[in-house]
């Protein structure tokens, strides 16, 4: 029985733990030598264009639309994994651009940029080093544009949405980014059209750009209010670095060694 227990700990716990520790330390060292920059994660939109079509050109009423109030909610926080440390960030609202909100914690940066033209938006996270601060990073914006659509008018808008993720150190960050745009009327039963693009495949490099087109019709005899909403989000969660897993492997190896010594004493 003692021989069998010794064999179990030797083959299942002690030796595999030692090999795992050495492998993680070696791979971790190669990763750090291979690259000098960290993650970059973005989402946003550009080239937003409006056009209008007269649904009843012979009725004597001109088709058209006007831009009303523009409001943009900005939200950005760096939350350290060590909950005893204070979080860094801000939450507030502005109108249209240009405007930039930017914060950083050690070597991790995030910024939200609103361009001078409507619909030009971007949210971005980046790390200047391979091992930025151990923090959860959330940055997002929601821009709402109120439009007044004339009677018998069809409003169309088009633009480009994009998300990207570059990560020279695979497995260092769990990333998520998305862009969502909605064009819809007010009140119950109002219709809407929407488009979304997102990145949610962990640790894979990603670069995607898509053209979108939305439309909203007002067949009634009076002007109506239409809301255009653009939302961008990035989120980055730190993943324990190789040395953390190496410490775990070393602990398992030490546990196996302790059990072996106890078995030798009992056998003696």
Q: What is the pLDDT of residue 36?
A: 44
* CA–CA gap between residue 31 and residue 168 (Å, rounded): 9
User: pLDDT at residue 34 above 50?
Assistant: no
Question: pLDDT category, 211, cuts 50, 70, 90?
Answer: very high
Contact of 217 with 157, CB cutoff 8 Å: no
User: pLDDT at residue 21 above 60?
Assistant: no
Give helix 15-34 / helix 242-267 axis angle, nearest 10°. Answer: 160
Q: Which of 55-59, 172-176, 207-211, 256-260 has the highest mean pLDDT?
A: 207-211
3-state class of 44 per DSSP? strand
Q: What is the pLDDT of residue 28?
A: 44
Q: What is the pLDDT of residue 169?
A: 58
Q: What is the pLDDT of residue 245?
A: 47
* CA–CA gap between residue 251 and residue 243 (Å, rounded): 12
Mean pLDDT over each residue of the chain, to the nearest integer:
79
Residues in CB range of 126: below 8 A, 6 or more apart: 38, 39, 40, 41, 108, 109, 110
User: pLDDT at residue 58 above 70?
Assistant: yes
Q: What is the pLDDT of residue 24?
A: 43
Q: What is the pLDDT of residue 29?
A: 41
What tens digit of pLDDT does each residue of 63-102 get?
Answer: 999 999 999 999 999 988 778 888 889 999 999 989 999 9
Contact of 9 with 93, CB cutoff 8 Å: no
What tens digit of pLDDT does each residue of 133-163 get?
Answer: 578 899 999 999 999 999 999 999 999 999 9
> Which whole number is the average pLDDT over 184-189?
81
* CA–CA gap between residue 183 and residue 216 (Å, rounded): 7
């Amino acid at each position: 029985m003692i021989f069998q227990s010794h064999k179990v700990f030797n083959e299942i716990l002690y030796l595999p733990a030692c090999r795992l520790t050495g492998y993680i330390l070696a791979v971790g060292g190669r990763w750090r030598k291979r690259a000098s920059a960290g993650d970059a994660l973005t989402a946003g939109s550009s080239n937003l264009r409006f056009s209008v079509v007269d649904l009843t050109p012979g009725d004597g009423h001109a088709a058209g639309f006007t831009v009303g109030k523009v409001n943009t909610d900005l939200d950005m926080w760096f939350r350290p994994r060590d909950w005893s440390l204070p979080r860094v960030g801000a939450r507030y609202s502005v109108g249209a651009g240009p405007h930039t909100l930017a914060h950083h914690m050690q070597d991790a940066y995030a910024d939200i940029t609103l361009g001078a033209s409507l619909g030009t938006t971007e949210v971005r996270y980046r790390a200047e080093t391979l091992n930025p601060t151990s923090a959860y990073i959330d940055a997002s914006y929601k821009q709402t544009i109120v439009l007044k659509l004339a009677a018998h008018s069809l409003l169309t808008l088009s633009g480009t949405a994009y998300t990207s993720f570059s990560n020279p150190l695979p497995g260092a960050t769990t990333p998520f980014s998305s862009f969502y745009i909605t064009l819809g009327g007010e009140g119950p039963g109002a219709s809407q059209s929407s488009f979304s693009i997102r990145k949610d495949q962990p640790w894979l490099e990603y670069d995607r750009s898509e053209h979108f087109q939305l439309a909203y019709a007002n067949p009634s005899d009076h002007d109506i209010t239409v809301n255009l909403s653009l939302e961008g989000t990035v989120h980055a969660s730190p993943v324990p670095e190789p040395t953390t897993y190496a410490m775990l492997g070393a602990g398992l190896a030490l546990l196996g060694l302790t059990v072996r010594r106890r078995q030798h004493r009992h056998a003696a």
